[in-house]
Amino acid sequence: MTKADVVNEISKTTGIEKAAVLATVEKFMEVVKDSLAHGENVYFRGFGSFIVKTRSEKTARNISKNTTIIIPEHKIPAFKPAKVFMDEVK
């Protein structure tokens, strides 16, 4: 399902104009992205959590050049579904 499909479904079921729904969805994604960029997690009870995970430093190999490189510690965004959500999907 794409963002356009989500907007169409919400618009159809609620009767709100597609433009208003699209603006809301866009703003939602922007708020989540900005929060994660500032290191703040976003929690939705019954749905899940958008969290920032820290990957530790590790050593990797470049096989073609036969050299090792160090990948520094870095942060990545992640989604952790709620138990209710997981039970519904199962």
Confidence class for position 21, pLDDT limits 50, 70, 90: very high
- Percent residues over pLDDT 70 in the chain: 100
pTM, to two decimals = 0.78
Residue holding tokens 């190999």? 61
35-to-11, 41, 60, 73, 74 alpha-carbon distances in Å: 26, 7, 30, 20, 17
